[in-house]
Amino acid sequence: MVLISEPTAKSGERWVPVSEALVAQAGEVPSDPFIDLKFKIHERLIKELDLQKVGGKDPSSLRPSVESAAGMMLMNEEVPLSRQERSRLSVEIADEVCGLGPLEPLLQDSSITEVLVNRPNQVYVERKGKLCLSSKVFKDNHHIMRMIDKIIGPLGRHIDEASPMVDARLADGSRVHVIIPPLALDSPVISIRKFSRDALTMDDLINLGTFTPELAELLRACVEGKVNIVVSGGTGTGKTTVLNVLSSFIPRGERVITIEDPAELQLQQPHVVRLETRPSNTEGRGAVLQRDLVRNALRMRPDRIIVGEVRGGEAFDMLQAMNTGHEGSLTTVHANSPRDALARIENMVLMAGMDLPAKAIREQVSSAIHLVIQLKRLMDGSRHVVQITEIAGMEGEIITVQDVFEFRYAKTSDGARTGALVPSGLRPKVAEQLEARGITLPPGIFTPAGGSIWT
C-alpha cells in the first residue's frame, strides 16, 4: 500500500491510499489547479515589491509582508476563491519567495525524514520508514531547477550539464543530493535526508525498539571503555543516528575530532573539533577528501576520532589510527552483515593503493575493530539492531567472529511474526577489557533467558 497526501481545510494534508498501478505511471498525480495563478502572483510580487525594503535579508521577517501582499493581489484576481483557498495560496506563494517552494512545508514537517523529488508531479516523502506520495507538485522542470539553485547558490556550488551532480547541505544541516539531465533522464532529481533538530537519545531508541536496555548498558560500557566500534547497515537503517547516540557516552573531558561528508553528527561534548570534506571547484581543483582529514586529525592530539562513514582509502588510515593508540574510535559502513562490513573495509584498504597481502590487511582489521553493530530496517519500516558481533581474532587467513547479541524471530498467539534481540550466550573478550578498565557490566547480561520463545 502506498499513501498520497490530499489538502484539507484544517491540517493542510491528510494521507489516503493510492493504488500501486497509479503510482507506477508517469502522470498519476493530479496537477495543482492553482499553479498558474500562483506563478502569476509570484512574478508580480518579484516585480512590484522591493523585497529588501519590505523585510531585509532575513526570510523570516520577509514572510509576513509577502503573505499579506500576495493575499491582496489574489483578492484582485477574477478567479473565484474561498477564504481558505486564498489563505493557502498566500502561504504557498510566500514559500516560493522566502523558502523552497513546494518543498518548504515538507521540510518543516517533523514527521517526515526524507524528501524525494523524482519529477515535477512526483514528490515522495518518508514517514515512519514508509514511502508516501505527497500532493506537492512543481510546475515543470524549470521550477525544480530554480529550487536547486536556491539550495546550492548560497553555498557557492555550481551545477550544469558539465557537472550534473552535487552534494550540499541545507542551513538546518539536512543532506541534499541533486542530479540533473543528461544523467537524470526524465527530470532533475532531488534527494533530501532531513536533519533531526532534536537528536535522539538512547532512551528514545529503547522506546522505539531499536535497542534493548541490556544492549544499551553494554554499548555504554564499550564506548566509555574505548572499544573500537563499527556501525554497519544499509541505506536509511539509522547508522548516523546510532553513531550519534554512541558518541553521547564519550566522557566530557576527552578531545573528540569528527570527520564527515557531509557533517551530520550532533555531539554534546564541550571539546569537539568538526571537520568536513570539500569537493573540487569548477576547475577540478581544491578537493579535500576524508583520507586527508583523517591524516590531519592524527596530528591534532585526538582522544577519539569519529569518521561519519568510511567509503574509500580513509579506511586504511582509520585502521592505522585504531592500531596506534587512538582507541575508542567510531565509524559507520554500508554493509548487509558484519562479515560484509569487514570485507568492505578490506576492499577499501586496497582502494588506498596499499600493496599488501590479504592476510596482512585482515590482521590489521581484526586487531583494530572490536565490535560491529548491524542495523536493519524490517518490513514494517522499523529499524532494529539485528546483530552485535565481536571480532575474535584470526584463524589462518580468516577473520573469526562471534555474535554476542542476535535478532531472533517467533510467532505470537495470533500467528503474527515478531522478534527480539537476545544474547547468544557467549561472553565477549571485550568484557575482560572493560573489567581491566574498572567498568563492571550487569550480571547475567550475556545469559539467555530461560525458556526463551525466540528461535
Considering the segment(s) 109-196 as one domain, its CATH architecture is: 2-Layer Sandwich (3.30)
Among 73-77, 127-131, 253-257, 411-415, where is mean pLDDT lowest? 411-415
Average pLDDT in the 357-364 region? 92
pLDDT of residue 43: 83
What is the side-by-side strand order in the sheet with 165-169?
A: 14-18, 2-6, 130-134, 122-127, 112-119, 189-193, 175-179, 165-169
Q: Share the mean pLDDT of the chain.
A: 84
Task: Using the predicted structure, report yes or no on whether residue 9 has a pLDDT greater than 70.
Answer: no
Q: In whole angstroms, what is the distance from residue 138 CA to residue 158 CA? A: 22
Grid cell of 146 as nine digits: 530554480
In angstroms, rounded to a whole number, what is the distance separating the alpha carbons of residues 267 and 115?
25
Q: Could you tell me the pLDDT band of residue 450, with boundaries at 50, 70 and 90?
A: low
Query: Does residue 435 carry a pLDDT above 70?
Result: yes
User: What percent of the chain clears pLDDT 90, i.e. is strictly above it?
Assistant: 45
Inform me whether the pLDDT recorded for 283 exceeds 60: yes
Answer whether residue 225 shows pLDDT above 80.
Answer: yes
Which range among 280-294, 309-323, 387-401, 407-421 has the greatest average pLDDT?
Answer: 387-401
Give the mean pLDDT of 33-43.
83
Same topology for domains 109-196 and 202-436, yes or no?
no
Higher pLDDT, 249 or 454: 249
142 vs 285, higher pLDDT: 142
Note every long-range contact of 14-17, with CB atoms under 8 Å and residues 24 or more positions apart, other chains counting: 15/127, 15/132
Cα separation, 309 vs 240, in Å, equals: 8
Amino acid 452: pLDDT: 53
Q: How confident is the model at residue 143 (pLDDT cuts 50, 70, 90)?
A: very high
Reply yes or no on whether the pLDDT at 1 is more than 70.
no
Give the model's pLDDT for residue 417.
Answer: 61
Q: What's the mean pLDDT in 275-279?
A: 88
SS (H, E, C) the chain: CEEEEECCCCCCCEEEEECHHHHHCCCCCCCCCCHHHHHHHHHHHHHHCCHHHHHCCCHHHHHHHHHHHHHHHHHCCCCCCCHHHHHHHHHHHHHHHHCCCCHHHHHHCCCEEEEEEEECCEEEEEECCEEEEECCCCCCHHHHHHHHHHHHHHHCCCCCCCCCEEEEECCCCCEEEEECCCCCCCCCEEEEECCCCCCCCHHHHHHHCCCCHHHHHHHHHHHHCCCCEEEEECCCCCHHHHHHHHHCCCCCCCCEEEEECCCCCCCCCCCEEEEECECCCCCCCCCECHHHHHHHHCCCCCCEEEECCCCCCHHHHHHHHHHCCCCCCEEEEECCCHHHHHHHHHHHHHHCCCCCCHHHHHHHHHHHCCEEEEEEECCCCCEEEEEEEEEEEEECCEEEEEEEEEEEEEECCCCCEEEEEEECCCCCCHHHHHHHCCCCCCCCCCCCCCCCCCC
Provide the residue ranges of all domains of the chain, joining segments of one domain with +: 25-98, 109-196, 202-436
Place domain 202-436 in its CATH homologous superfamily: P-loop containing nucleotide triphosphate hydrolases (3.40.50.300)
pLDDT in tens, 290-347: 999 999 999 999 999 999 999 888 999 899 888 888 899 999 999 999 999 999 999 9
Q: Which residue has the higher pLDDT, 43 or 57?
A: 43
pLDDT of residue 259: 94
Q: Which residue has the higher pLDDT, 177 or 74?
A: 177
Percent of the residues in the chain that have a pLDDT greater than 70, as a whole number: 87
Q: Closest by alpha carbon to 188, among 253, 118, 280? A: 118
Give per-residue pLDDT as tens, 98-115. Answer: 889 999 999 999 899 999
Alpha carbon distances (Å) from 444 to 196, 247, 308, 441, 449: 35, 25, 33, 9, 9
- Cα(391)–Cα(216) distance, integer angstroms: 19
Q: Is pLDDT of 19 > 80?
A: no
Q: What is the dihedral of CA 413, 419, 420, 422, to 10 degrees?
A: 100
Q: What are phi and psi of 178, to 5 degrees?
A: -125, 135
* pTM of structure: 0.80
Least confident interval from 25-39, 145-159, 195-209: 25-39
362-373 confidence digits (pLDDT tens): 999 999 999 999
